[in-house]
Structure 1
């Protein structure tokens, strides 16, 4: 007879357990608060798995029957957060909160909770948040030079005092009331339906402060939240829900950041449906949902346009104008939506809001005329787990994560076994051969390394005056030997390095003004001239020979050809450029004449010739692609000219987009 109860328990655990629907499953009567025991160890395992909901049904599906309780998800013991999947845990490990708590631990200080950390960065703008697929709010924050974490650490001394002064500030409501601060985000309950050492978990944010202060009566608070299933008539094709759907308890979820906004109102009472002869399923009833996205974040630089304007002054580019317009448009869209949903928000049981940064909080909490949300509303909560980009799917995932029971295995710890394991670990560490220590550099060697880095950086950027000034101010010889010699055997001196970089101005500057010796050979026995990779750089050596005179150096030993006057070099360069332009003009003219007489030439081997790079657009008779036209435009231009042309092209495109938006196109 023991098999029947066991099968009943398995059937219950295979289905998702919903905080607001525990009576039907018979789980509520078996719950009892888990006794506190500091000698127990929590295995970071969780039977819940991420349940992605589709946009059409928002169905809360059950986990696979093959998953046993106690396996699957992860948690962060440092930050006190749990996650539904390994991907969520990895995303949290890249977050500002986790990195900040790691630094707190290294400094011997206590880690902070998510609510406390968000208050610390209350005066800082956009935090690094996860994207919809990865873990950055916009996917391009990796290139930002000054992250939220860096700014927070830089202002840590003043932020500590500011945090104390802002404990009662109304803006703290944007992070939710201090529900469960200093305590784990979840409460654990034992049940006869679970094996030994396994417990059910419920998030604390679902309860009020008064209920949490009386944890011995928390089961009564859970019982008050049990709701009968919502039976809806058939929903019409237009998707309009009947009035009964709006009459029951519901919660509001909202996320805003990086130009993305998503909001949703979900009924707490589960909707019952039955497929065939199977058990009753539970679906979430979405009463309203809306998402917005505006281009407001500065790509590859991070932060909003308004934050950049406040820090550096207003920019006047077409892109900055477009971002300012979109920021205001997003504010108007969000506030209009909140006004339209005012009746639903006023009757919501809880308001879960993620709005990091001053700009986003002002969008929601104002102050402004007709304000709907109030920062001091006691119903406001933060999400006690990591969230990604603001989308409808992410809101549904968050709703499921908030309202489902978790199952975790918490094993007791044997103190004797722990001591033995620590001793074995220490013995293994002491038995490992020590790594050879790097020899300590002398002060002279460290200075030489610093000079090497500075000189090579100046040469790479072709800074002739700065390079000569650095050599003079630091009393360095023009033939300073780069260190370490083994890593710089190919280009051991500034002149070798400049020749290898094909920097003609640097070559002339080092020879004529710096006094560099062109006869010095590198580790391969080559002089600086032999490292030059183009004729312009080689001509620079010949011009220097002409200006310095034949007696200055042994030019034959330096392998430098006969001297050449600068005017002669410039004249030859101009002549070659004109010849090239003339040949190109003749080629184009001949091709145009041929097209007028013969028309486009069609060749069966056009595809093959294109693959070989020899079949031009004219040769195959096909119209030139946009990429081929862009390549033709930049052909023969210097890198600086190419960058200028690309900036102008992007500015024209941004101005055209802005013009269309202003004209209502």
Structure 2
């Protein structure tokens, strides 16, 4: 029978390089390439290692693009001049050739898909790394035909893209502000209560302003009094408050007595209800809505 093909282990320095590429350690990868003299465009050798698959990522550049390591791609292309035109198909052909396969097998392989590193790039930033390299090194490779990079990306183009993105964001924000204004304008305003006892916002504001001025004036005047005079005024204020409380208590007692005696009076203020249309709440009679809100004495 045919002898089994022995697939060697990949060299340690190559496995280390692959690890650095997959982790995105661009500067360390670059130093490793230079230190060990590794050709960044070489096809990765067949290996039993699970770190890479030469059918999908036959070169270091393919590997970096596949894992979305844009900075690694940038250094490989711009500093180490890795070949972006190598395809997965060419790697498969090389692998089959090394195994000395029959001609029909080689035809079957070459009829498969062919992907460059750009074709398998993971994300937009990685794709842009190829386009920036194309702008920087336009004559180094057949970027469009063989590397499949559709167009270059210059700094001016990126600046214009950023400007357009900012302009779009600004327009969206302006539109949102306009929508908020429209909602506020169309929102119905709170109707002004003109019934007895109610105050409009203007009158409330005026009253508050007047009260503030009077309070400020009183405070200023009080600060100019002697300590003895301030104490005298405080005693008078307290005495008046006590008298008011006693009068209120006496009024409440009078009202309660009148109600208990069955007199036709307001249960809040004691006013006679004869000849009036009283307000009735829970069986109690009141003379006005103010008394209704105050409740019974």
Tell me whether the two structures share a fold, i.e. TM-score over 0.5. no
Greater helix fraction, Structure 1 or Structure 2 = 2
Q: Which has the higher strand share?
A: 1
Larger Rg: 2
Higher relative contact order structure (alpha carbons within 8 Å, sequence separation ≥ 6): 1
Q: TM-score, normalised by structure 2?
A: 0.45
**TM-score of the aligned structures, taking structure 1 as reference length:** 0.21
